[in-house]
Amino acid sequence: MNSLGQQQKYAPLSIALHWITVIMMLAIYATIELHEIIPRENPLRGAMEDWHIFLGLCMLLLGAYRLSVNLRLQPPGILPRPPQWQMRLTSLMKIYLYILMITMPIVGWIFVSAEGEAVKLFFIPMPGIATVSESLAGIAEEAHEIFGVSAYLFIAVHALAALHHHYLVKDDTLKRMLPDFISRS
C-alpha cells in the first residue's frame, strides 16, 4: 500500500508480458522435452523441434520488448520492505532471467546456423547468423544445453521465492505481479 492506501503494482503491460513469458517458457521447454522422447521415425518429433525454434524466436522478440518496457518503468516497492541483501539477490535474478530470454534464442540460432541448416519461422527461412563450422556448432550446442538445463533451477528458485514471500513472509511481492482479477479475489 502507498500513503493513499492503494496497492502498488507493476503496470498492466508488465504484468501481461510477465505471464505471457511464463506460458511461452513452459511451451518452449515442453516442446524440446517431447522432442527428446518421441521416437525418431515419428514426424511429430521434427514438428516439436520446429515449434521449439518458432517459440524460441518469438521469445527473443518478446524478451527484448519486455526489457525495453521495463527499463522505462520503475518497479513498485515491496511492503513490508525485504532486507537489502534480498533486494540485491532479486535484482541479480531479474538480470539472469533477461539474459535467459534474450541470449538463449540467439545461441540456439547460432547453433543451427553453424550446422549449415536454415532456421525457419515455420515456412519462412531466416538468415543464418553464423558461418558453417563444426566446432562453433559444438560450442553453441553445449552452451545452449548447459544454460537451458541450468535455467530449470533458476526459474524454480524464482517462482518458489515468490511463493515463499506470499505464503510465509506474507508481503505483497506476488500480488504486485498478479492481474487485478486474481489479486482482488
Contact status: 52 vs ligand HEM (CB under 6 A): yes
CA 97 from centre of chain: 6
Give the footprint of ligand HEM on residues 110-129 (CB under 6 A). Answer: 112, 119
Contact status: 140 vs ligand HEM (CB under 6 A): no
Contact status: 98 vs ligand HEM (CB under 6 A): yes
Least Å from the CB of residue 43 to ligand HEM? 16
Least Å from the CB of residue 56 to ligand HEM? 3
Least Å from the CB of residue 4 to ligand HEM? 21
| Among 1-9, 40-48, 132-140, 144-152, the segment contacting ligand HEM (CB under 6 A) | 144-152
Contact status: 31 vs ligand HEM (CB under 6 A): no
Give me the DSSP letters along the chain: --TTSPPP---HHHHHHHHHHHHHHHHHHHHHHHHHHS-TTSHHHHHHHHHHHHHHHHHHHHHHHHHHHHHHSPPPPPSSPPPHHHHHHHHHHHHHHHHHHHHHHHHHHHHHHHTTPPEEETTEEEPP-S---HHHHHHHHHHHHHHHHHHHHHHHHHHHHHHHIIIII--STTGGGS-HHHHT-
Contact status: 105 vs ligand HEM (CB under 6 A): yes
Q: What is the largest CA-CA distance in the chain?
A: 63
Binding site for ligand HEM (CB under 6 A): 14, 18, 21-22, 25, 28, 32, 49, 52-53, 56-57, 59, 70, 75, 90, 94, 97-98, 100-101, 104-105, 108-109, 112, 119, 141, 144-145, 148-149, 155, 158-159, 162, 173-174, 177
